[in-house]
Structure 1
């Protein structure tokens, strides 16, 4: 079986997914056929140089943080709400306040990102109209499942699913006590913990 690597190609106006394997393929709905080895080289080059880091979103020592100042009383209240222990010393409390302040700064930086015109992500799956049509459940897709059902009962009709007889011979022949360290007849012997 060939291994595949998934790549996101952003050459077109909307991102598409490319699969690289022994054969070149593109996902349905792509109007252009991309050369997957070219796309792989482009993305390897693009990903070789990071364009940002988490560190760039954290406040530096020289840069004043724009996060709201949190008081000691607010910190204690948050710790009680979270069922976390209160700081044991003044140094530990200062460290917690600094960490919380940098986390709030980080969240504020993330909230600054311009998302104008970006549709919210509903799910991590293909959300194109073709994929929606493919995932639609119709009577035709349920035909096989409905064919396995019988309606029984004279006045209160119930649905009963027809099933094939299951061969459970292997399960019935299984030696349940085979791995027990101690047994008495057909029972496990378990110590109660009392001497």
Structure 2
């Protein structure tokens, strides 16, 4: 496909007006990606994030004093013997190496999440409460009282599903008294 000529007029620079001629190719349709072939070969592995068997210079070194300080801050008991302390130091070193490897990932172009929910435009639109939604709720309310107005929900207008009407709330309760279930206090009588 031949290139498409395009003219761009820039803003006035002093008394001169510059015109640039550029060419731009039309956007070509993207090539089809074979998803199965892409997923067949992983791009990383968990072993690549774990430290090597021989400690490298970049591996953070945790001292015994630092370990005891962290355990004291965490309100955890100190190690019972030297073997347990060595295992703790090794484990902590591996965890720190793993965190450092994760921190190396370039996430500068990733928009941070505000929360763990759908933050797309359609998701935000779905979560939005509109005036129409409120009008439906207001039709189910009654205002009572002359001076001190109390809003009461009209129970007859409340929509309940068929399962809510036929649901026996106390069916699973072992001990019942009238409309209530009984919870034992834990003392054997």
Distance 1:84 1:155, change over 3 A: same
Assess if the C-alpha contact under 8 Å between 1:65 and 1:105 holds in 2.
no
Aligned positions, number: 148
Gap regions ≥5 residues in structure 1: 1-37, 180-186
2:128 & 2:48 partners in 1: Cα distance? Answer: 44
Match of 1:112 among 104, 114, 128: 104
1:110 shift after superposition? 0.7
Pairwise CA RMSD of aligned residues?
3.8
Q: Could you tell me which residue of structure 1 aligns to residue 58 of structure 2? A: 66
Answer with 91-100 or 165-174: which moved more.
165-174
The normalised TM-score by structure 2 is 0.62
Alignment of 1:1-195 (within 5 A): 42-164=34-156, 171=168, 193=188
Residue 192 of structure 1 deviates from its aligned partner by: 5.2
Give per-residue Cα distances to partners, 1:74-103, cap 9 Å, x unaligned.
211212222322111111101111110111
Rate the CA distance shift 1:68–1:152 in 2: closer, same or farther, 3 A.
Answer: same
Q: Which has the larger radius of gyration?
A: 2
2:52 partner SS? coil
Are the structure 2 counterparts of residues 175 and 91 from structure 1 closer, same or farther at C-alpha, using a change threshold of 3 Å? closer
Does structure 2 conserve the Cα–Cα contact (< 8 Å) formed by 1:150 and 1:160?
A: yes
**Aligned residue in 1 for 2:20:** none
2:142–2:153 Cα contact (<8 Å) kept? yes
